[in-house]
Amino acid sequence: MSEWHKTACSLCYVNCGIEVQTEGRAITRVRGDRENPRSRGYLCQKAQRLTWYGDHNDRLTTPLRRREDGTHEPVSWEKALREIAAKLRAVRDADLAAGRPGSMAYVGGGGQGNHSGGGYGLALRKWMNSSRFFGALSQEKTGDFWVNGKMFGGQTNHTAEGVEECDLLLVIGCNPWLANGFNRARSAVNDIKNDPGRRMVVIDPRRTETAEVADVHLPLRPGTDAYLLGAMLALIIERGGQDDEFLATHTEGFDEVKAALGRIPVDDWITHAEVEREDVDRAVDLILAAEAMTVRVELGIQQGRNSTLNSYLEKLLYLLTGNFGRPGTNALHTWLMPLWSESRGERSEITGFEYIGGMLPLNTLAEEILADHPNRARVLWVESSNPANTAADTASVERAIRAAELSVVIDVAFTETAALADYVLPAASQHEKWEFTFFDFEFPTNYFHLRPPLFDPLPGTLVEAEIYARLFEELGLLDASTVDELARVPRVELLKAASPVLQENPAVAPVLLYRTLGRTLPNGAAVAAVLWPGCLTLAKRMPVAVQRALDTDLEGPALASELFDRILANPSGLAFTRHSYDEVWQLMRHDRVHLAVPELLSWLESLDPERDRSDPEYPLSLINGQRRRHNANQILRPPSWRRTDPDGALHVRTDDLTAVSAEAGDWVAIVSRVGRIVVRAEIDDSLRKGQVALPHGFGMSVPDGHGGRVVHGPRINVITDAHDRDPIAGTPHHKDMPVRLERATAAEVAAAARDAEVVHALISAGS
Ligand SMILES: Nc1nc2c(c(=O)[nH]1)N[C@H]1C(S)=C(S)[C@@H](COP(=O)(O)OP(=O)(O)OC[C@H]3O[C@@H](n4cnc5c(=O)[nH]c(N)nc54)[C@H](O)[C@@H]3O)O[C@H]1N2
Ligand SMILES: Nc1nc2c(c(=O)[nH]1)N[C@H]1C(S)=C(S)[C@@H](COP(=O)(O)OP(=O)(O)OC[C@H]3O[C@@H](n4cnc5c(=O)[nH]c(N)nc54)[C@H](O)[C@@H]3O)O[C@H]1N2
Ligand code: SF4
Ligand SMILES: [Mo]
């Protein structure tokens, strides 16, 4: 019987602890790791397919350089890094000479399971004097971060959910049954369903698998969440449902909020959302009766109309009713190291968008590069992200990648973004290196998981930290004898000893840690060196919470050192902070929650059902990027991994499909303001009338088995309008895209059917 190895699932950001058996480079069996203190053995339907991530024939195994004709040729690591370093230096010198801001655009820095490379990549961006940072978070969560900054005082004051202990779960715009998104999601939903004392309300246009088991489902018209949530808040206040004691003790600005809510024409707005007043009253009844409500939201409102306003209203729901900082409610959480940073209102010179959490909207990446502006971005650096498939408006993104003076992609696979880049650098996979994420969103106890590798790096690949360290060395920024000297300094004195080097060039910090402290870590865990400053800061800022989690009375640097050692020694992960509920206020930057956010109250007042009608040219609402049983972002690329949905079908109701004289299985065209794609139609009558859905996580170009490539499923962002976006956060409205359905032409049908046939053959052959 072969051994079980501990790791984590990297197919969504919940990162469940798992145990796997392996054979060669394949993962042959997967089970939940019961010793993982957070996920406690939980797994969803996707984890069993994990082997398809790193073990396939489209892995990168050598650096590639783009030829004039657009194809790539293999080059050695030495040559690739030498050429890239020379170009980076030339651009940096030109930026400095012109007195303009650094012109590197950095995208990514980590995906669902890997954040070890990001810190090193950001160091490079810093050396390039650039603040231009884009990522998946800046096309989904930045509106939420902006609101957190206003209400709690910090954009890293991110909220946690108390799903496992709540007596009312309010689910808005997400489908945990298929997408998970929080710890042990399916078990948690089942527990609520089976407990007569616990309730669930779902706000989602579609009768989702989660809505199916809810006590109340409000199937609102897509894009009307701000109206419905506004009306619900107004009803709560009308019925005196606010928690006066909580508001008086912990918040300010309630009177302004109350006045704004008092002006809401409740019935008009409920009518506009096209839900029954009776059902809304039942939902409000449940909220007012709840001892402990948790609100769980995701892309349905964060990538929907009025998204930043929605993020405000959902927070008001739990704050006005005092469902915060108690067991089973929402709260704030700690960080080992924050995954994003604080911005202070700086804006892009090119688009005028505000930096939020240190990021610019991914939606504006192409504009930053393609702008006719002296300070446009000139270098595009992509690490662990595939914007050619995942950012809005594929055509513009592709143009921007080509237009950059230097484009570099670091990935494990030959992605659609890599296919256009000047240089492609092959990374070791998440199973071939020490890895971790900063997706630690729990309160009152929070957890961290550093995973050891399962395999050696695939020959030809390097760990990201090593790639950056070699690049910094090539740039002459790391002196070998200084490194040797510092590598001998004990951990607790290292940062002080390194301070002359860091003062001269602060950007090298992560790489310096990797080359010095990293060298001393057991079993090749060098990348973990970047966690050390996080341990020091945490031990200083919240020693008691760390002491409780580790059950020790060590203090200061000794406490930090103990935490760091325990992280290294616990392959199932560990608790790193433990608070009591009343300590939640210590995590908040403001002294009291600022309930009144003037920009958002005036946005709320400006809502007008009359101006919010659909465009008769594009009468349907498309969920452009639905989470399904077998999709997982762009992480699993070989077609064979999918047990369902081989074509990435369009889901459409019978009546909406019949309206274009098509039937299930037909190829149909989806047309938006910016593009047209041809997709296979499949019936889903759980959708709302007029709503259609395309899956996230398709559109990969994969080897066809005959020396060519074939595109697997829809490239959904070909039809996304990057300018249809949130006015504050610039995030796209993926969940409510105006489209129409047409019959596909004979030529389109023939081409689509040909590709599908190739894909089906690959699936039958198991590749
Ligand atoms: N299977 C699977 N799971 C995943 C992923 C994956 O690719 N596949 N990706 C992971 C990632 S990165 C993320 S961010 C999460 C996302 O997880 P979710 O946000 O839960 O997933 P989505 O399917 O994108 O959309 C959520 C819901 O929004 C609803 N919706 C559409 N329009 C509206 C609207 O106007 N209002 C409201 N209230 N709801 C609306 C849709 O019907 C859908 O049920 O999933 C994670 N988990
Ligand atoms: N239309 C539409 N677009 C969407 C969405 C939608 O719902 N609709 N959802 C959005 C959301 S919520 C998200 S999170 C994004 C996700 O989109 P992306 O940010 O592009 O992230 P992933 O799809 O997770 O893919 C990450 C890349 O990392 C690579 N990778 C995996 N492991 C490693 C590693 O160890 N090292 C390196 N260097 N690379 C690695 C993978 O091969 C893959 O190419 O998509 C967004 N785009
Ligand atoms: S919930 Fe997410 S991390 Fe957990 S097994 Fe499923 S895909 Fe993997
Ligand atoms: Mo996401």
Angle CA 463–456–451, to nearest 5? 70
Q: Which atom of ligand 3 is nearest to the CA of 113?
A: 3
Q: Which atom of ligand 2 is nearest to the CA of 135?
A: 19
Distance 299 CA to ligand 1 centre (A): 5
pLDDT digits (tens, 9 = 90+) for 654-701: 999 999 999 999 999 999 999 999 999 999 999 999 999 999 999 999
CB atoms within 10 A of CB 555: 14
Peptide bond between residue 609 and the one before it cis (omega within 30 degrees of 0): no
Q: Is the pLDDT of residue 431 over 80?
A: yes
In the DSSP assignment, the letter for residue 19 is E
Q: 47: Cβ below 6 Å to ligand 3?
A: yes
Q: Which of 7, 40, 44, 174 to mutate to test the pocket of ligand 3 (most atoms within 8 A of CB)?
A: 44
pLDDT digits (tens, 9 = 90+) for 484-531: 999 999 999 999 999 999 999 999 999 999 999 999 999 999 999 999
Amino acid at 640: S
Distance 358 CA to ligand 3 centre (A): 28
pLDDT digits (tens, 9 = 90+) for 741-756: 999 999 999 999 999 9
Distance 90 CA to ligand 3 centre (A): 43
For residue 614, what pLDDT is reported? Answer: 82
For residue 1, what pLDDT is reported? Answer: 62
Q: Which atom of ligand 1 is nearest to the CA of 627?
A: 23
The whole-angstrom separation of Cα 644 and Cα 267 is 42
Distance 200 CA to ligand 1 centre (A): 18
For residue 442, what pLDDT is reported? Answer: 98
Structure tokens at 631: 């999709």
The whole-angstrom separation of Cα 470 and Cα 481 is 15
Residue closest to 679 by CA, chosen among 708, 706, 645, 705: 645
Q: What share of the chain is helix, strand, coil (3-state, %, to 5)?
A: 40, 20, 40
Q: Provide mean pLDDT across the span 269-293.
A: 98
Q: Could you tell me where the DSSP H helices lie in 620-671?
A: 654-658
Distance 634 CA to ligand 2 centre (A): 5
> To the nearest whole number, what is the mean pLDDT of the chain?
97
Distance 422 CA to ligand 2 centre (A): 20
Tokens 């018209």, residue?
221
For residue 612, what pLDDT is reported? Answer: 83
pLDDT digits (tens, 9 = 90+) for 196-212: 999 999 999 999 999 99
For residue 303, what pLDDT is reported? Answer: 98
Q: 44: Cβ below 6 Å to ligand 3?
A: yes
Amino acid at 445: T
Q: Is the pTM of this model over 0.85?
A: yes
Residue closest to 677 by CA, chosen among 654, 699, 645: 699
Long-range contacts of 63-68 (CB under 8 A, 24+ apart): 63/423, 63/424, 63/425, 63/426, 64/418, 64/423, 64/424, 65/422, 65/423, 66/421, 66/422, 66/423
CB atoms within 10 A of CB 543: 16
Q: Which atom of ligand 2 is nearest to the CA of 386?
A: 20
Q: Which of 144, 216, 386, 627 to mutate to test the pocket of ligand 1 (most atoms within 8 A of CB)?
A: 627
Residue ranges of domains in the chain, CATH in brackets: 2-52 (2.20.25.90), 64-138+338-442+445-578 (3.40.50.740), 159-332 (3.40.228.10), 616-765 (2.40.40.20)
Q: Which band of pLDDT confidence, cut at 50, 70 and 90, is reported for residue 611? A: confident
The two most distant CA atoms of the chain are separated, in Å, by 75
Tell me the backbone φ, ψ of residue 34, rounded to 5 degrees: -65, -20
pLDDT digits (tens, 9 = 90+) for 221-256: 999 999 999 999 999 999 999 999 999 999 999 999
Distance 137 CA to ligand 4 centre (A): 7
Q: Which band of pLDDT confidence, cut at 50, 70 and 90, is reported for residue 609? A: very high
pLDDT digits (tens, 9 = 90+) for 45-88: 999 999 999 999 999 999 999 999 999 999 999 999 999 999 99
Amino acid at 349: E
Query: Residues with Cβ < 8 Å from 560, sequence gap 6 or more?
Result: 492, 532, 535, 536, 538, 539, 540
pLDDT digits (tens, 9 = 90+) for 344-384: 999 999 999 999 999 999 999 999 999 999 999 999 999 99
For residue 613, what pLDDT is reported? Answer: 80
For residue 551, what pLDDT is reported? Answer: 98
For residue 386, what pLDDT is reported? Answer: 98
The whole-angstrom separation of Cα 121 and Cα 511 is 10
Q: 44: Cβ below 6 Å to ligand 1?
A: no
Residue closest to 11 by CA, chosen among 111, 135, 138: 111
Tell me the backbone φ, ψ of residue 483, rounded to 5 degrees: -60, -45
For residue 766, what pLDDT is reported? Answer: 86
Q: Which band of pLDDT confidence, cut at 50, 70 and 90, is reported for residue 397? A: very high
Q: Provide mean pLDDT across the span 455-461.
A: 98
Tokens 């009558």, residue?
685
Q: 295: Cβ below 6 Å to ligand 1?
A: no
Q: 163: Cβ below 6 Å to ligand 2?
A: no
Contact of 521 with 533, CB cutoff 8 Å: no
Amino acid at 625: G
Residue closest to 676 by CA, chosen among 684, 689, 667: 667
Tokens 């995942």, residue?
390
Q: Which of 7, 430, 634, 694 to mutate to test the pocket of ligand 2 (most atoms within 8 A of CB)?
A: 634
Residue closest to 324 by CA, chosen among 106, 146, 148: 148
The percent of residues above 90 in pLDDT, for the chain, comes to 98
Residue whose CA is closest, atom 6 of ligand 3? Answer: 44
pLDDT digits (tens, 9 = 90+) for 530-557: 999 999 999 999 999 999 999 999 999 9
Contact of 326 with 430, CB cutoff 8 Å: no
For residue 680, what pLDDT is reported? Answer: 98
The percent of residues above 70 in pLDDT, for the chain, comes to 100
Q: Provide mean pLDDT across the span 29-42.
A: 98
